[in-house]
Amino acid sequence: MKSKFLITIICLIGVTSFAQKNITWDDLADVEFETKFFPAYEGYFLYPYFSPSIIALEGSRVTITGYFLDIDPKGKLFILSKGPMSACFFCGIGGPETAMELQFDSKPKFKLDDILSVTGILKLNRDDVMHFNYILTDVEAKLKNE
């Protein structure tokens, strides 16, 4: 009986350690930005200083809900945003912490402003100004209504 209990506990610990963490846009807002000069681009960009709580999420499998934005005419850059296209940070509403880059294995079939539940591995980007500060890799996504 004790061995069955012990096996059950070990299995539960194993399952929870591989489970994704549900995060919100408020969680990702715990970041400070400072203008920093990037010599390679001869320009100033916002440099993120992530809080310890965000740093603790790096490399974790996370799930977040947001609006799907397909802003690349070549169909290679996909974004999850806290708000719809009309209220995204490109339009001056919110900051870079309100959007994240999505890296799918294949081109998704979602439409602009579809509300998605997205799961992937969270990568924090500090130095590559050609990508977002938050990047989700190995993305799996579904419509929020499903």
Contact of 113 with 69, CB cutoff 8 Å: yes
Contact of 144 with 116, CB cutoff 8 Å: yes
Q: What is the CA radius of gyration of the chain?
A: 18
Q: Which of 88, 99, 100 is nearest to 139 (CA)?
A: 100
Residue 13: CA atoms inside 13 Å, Cβ hemisphere, count? 6
Query: Which amino acid appears at position 23 of this protein?
Result: I
In a domain? residue 78: yes
Q: Does the pLDDT of residue 3 top 90, yes or no?
A: no
In a domain? residue 97: yes
pTM of the predicted protein model: 0.82
| pLDDT, tens digit (0-9, with 9 covering 90-100), for 8-29 | 444 444 444 457 899 999 999 9
Residue 72's pLDDT is 84
SS3 105: coil
Q: Does the pLDDT of residue 125 top 80, yes or no?
A: yes
Domain count, the chain: 1
The CATH number that applies at residue 88 is 2.40.50.870
Query: Which of 47-61, 75-89, 98-112, 113-127 has the weakest average pLDDT?
Result: 75-89
Q: Which domain holds residue 118?
A: 21-143
In a domain? residue 91: yes
Beta strands 78-81; 31-38: pairing state: unpaired
| pLDDT, tens digit (0-9, with 9 covering 90-100), for 61-102 | 999 999 999 888 888 899 999 999 877 666 666 789 999 999
In a domain? residue 46: yes
Contact of 21 with 63, CB cutoff 8 Å: yes
In a domain? residue 9: no
In a domain? residue 81: yes
Contact of 120 with 78, CB cutoff 8 Å: no
In a domain? residue 63: yes
